[in-house]
Amino acid sequence: MSDDVYRQLCDTMARRGGTFPGMDIPEFYELAVELFTAREAAIINALPRGLTPAGPIAAALGEKEDTVLPILEKMADKGLVFSIKTKGRTLYSGLPFVPGIFEYQFMRGTDTSRDKKLAKLIMAYKTAVRQHRKPGEKDFPVYRVIPINRSIEAGTRIHTYDQVKSYIESSEPLAASTCYCRHQAKLIDEKSHCGKPDDVCLQLGWGARFVIDRGLGRKISKQEAFDILERSEEAGLVHCTNNRQEIDFLCNCCSCHCIILQNALAHPQPGRALSSGFQPEWYAERCTACETCIERCPMDALQVGPEEIPQVDMDRCIGCGVCATGCPEQAIEMRQRQDTPPPPLDRRALKESLKKSAPAQNG
């Protein structure tokens, strides 16, 4: 029975999709047994689509609500299911591994022996999935980069979805938590930490409400969110989020540990896998050839060009603006590319785009 439930869980997590869906390999089962009890796995397998109260979930299992509800609550606290309180009742829904369950495991920033074990199992699973993945899979990007606002050429008419600040201004509540990726690296090997700030993972709107309710992060003011953005930009971190106009998280990523940039780096053309739709342009006369921009670029997209002016490889450039904000001479500005379509509007539109790109993966 227990084996069956985890095999079924593998199918369930495969259907959920995301960057690391369920895969029938030994690393999946080792991780699944650590994350979910057999009872929890059975509940995950029975979850209906969409947000659902405990009653119908219990009915799908042929059980009474009061036996299933405490387990659902515990699973939400552990970041294994999503929950939201609305109109006096709590609704639950399933989560993919990424974005979702993996991140929630380390957002509290704790370092128990179980955290350390889980960090290793998740890393082993991610590595195995990357090895099994066929080249060209997931052609339509699931994430995108938002350029650093102050790197953008003055006078550019910027869409709201290209402005981190407008997301902060329009979202309520806001939450901050520990960067799952850098914390996972620290749990595996303290020395592997890159020294970039850890407390800069932002959640917005209903994403924030969940982490606040479940103690996975803390509620912050808009001013604190702006301060976090500024610290992240100073540290050369990249603003990454869902590839849709409606967003619920804003990661501040380093290329050494963060899952989003690591996946882009594994792509032969990172600029295609993850782009902001902006590109750097140089004022050659201002450049003193100090090479700071080359050192700061998280994608290794820059090299010294003719007359020592840095040259960009657009197949690698993700349009983050980290080069521009680090330039002491203000010799770089980010300009809008003409060839980048707007991100899908919402979750549904992103799903459609992913579905449409699927046949090309097999062709």
The count of chain residues that interact with ligand SF4, using the rule CB under 6 A, is 26
Cα separation, 1 vs 218, whole angstroms: 39
Helices (H), 63-171: 65-77, 102-106, 113-132, 164-170
In angstroms, give the least distance from the CB of 285 to ligand SF4: 11
Question: Which of residues 220 and 293 has its CB atom nearest to ligand SF4 in the complex?
Answer: 293
In angstroms, give the least distance from the CB of 338 to ligand SF4: 16
258 lines the binding site for ligand SF4 (CB under 6 A): no
Question: Which of residues 75 and 254 has its CB atom nearest to ligand SF4 in the complex?
Answer: 254
Q: Which stretch binds ligand SF4 (CB under 6 A): 53-61, 94-102, 134-142, 316-324?
A: 316-324
In angstroms, give the least distance from the CB of 301 to ligand SF4: 4
Question: Which of residues 203 and 243 has its CB atom nearest to ligand SF4 in the complex?
Answer: 243
Report which DSSP code applies to 163. Answer: -
Cα separation, 315 vs 270, whole angstroms: 6
**Residue 239, strand partner residues:** 146, 252
Rg (CA), the chain: 21
Q: Which stretch binds ligand SF4 (CB under 6 A): 57-65, 129-137, 225-233, 311-319?
A: 311-319
Those residues with Cβ within 8 angstroms of residue 100's Cβ, 6 or more apart along the chain or in another chain: 16, 18, 79, 82
Number of other residues whose CB lies within 10 A of the CB of residue 125? 23
Total length of the chain: 363
In angstroms, give the least distance from the CB of 114 to ligand SF4: 37
In angstroms, give the least distance from the CB of 283 to ligand SF4: 8
In angstroms, give the least distance from the CB of 303 to ligand SF4: 10
Mask for 263-302, x = binds ligand SF4 (CB under 6 A)? -----------------x-x----xxxxxxx---x-x-xx
In angstroms, give the least distance from the CB of 69 to ligand SF4: 47
Of 203, 312, 333, 343, the one binding ligand SF4 (CB under 6 A) is: 312
Angle, in degrees to the nearest 10, between helices 54-61 and 65-77: 110
Residue 61, Cβ density class (10 Å: 0-12 exposed, 13-18 middle, ≥19 buried): middle
- Can you count the helices (H) and strands (E) in the chain? 16, 13
Task: Give the closest residue to 301 by CA, choosing from 314, 287, 292.
Answer: 314
Amino acid at 358: A
**Residue 176, strand partner residues:** 202, 218
Of 100, 310, 343, 344, the one binding ligand SF4 (CB under 6 A) is: 310
Of 318-357, binders to ligand SF4 (CB under 6 A) are: 318-323, 327, 329, 331-332
- Where on the chain is the footprint of ligand SF4 (CB under 6 A)? 280, 282, 287-293, 297, 299, 301-302, 310, 312, 317-323, 327, 329, 331-332
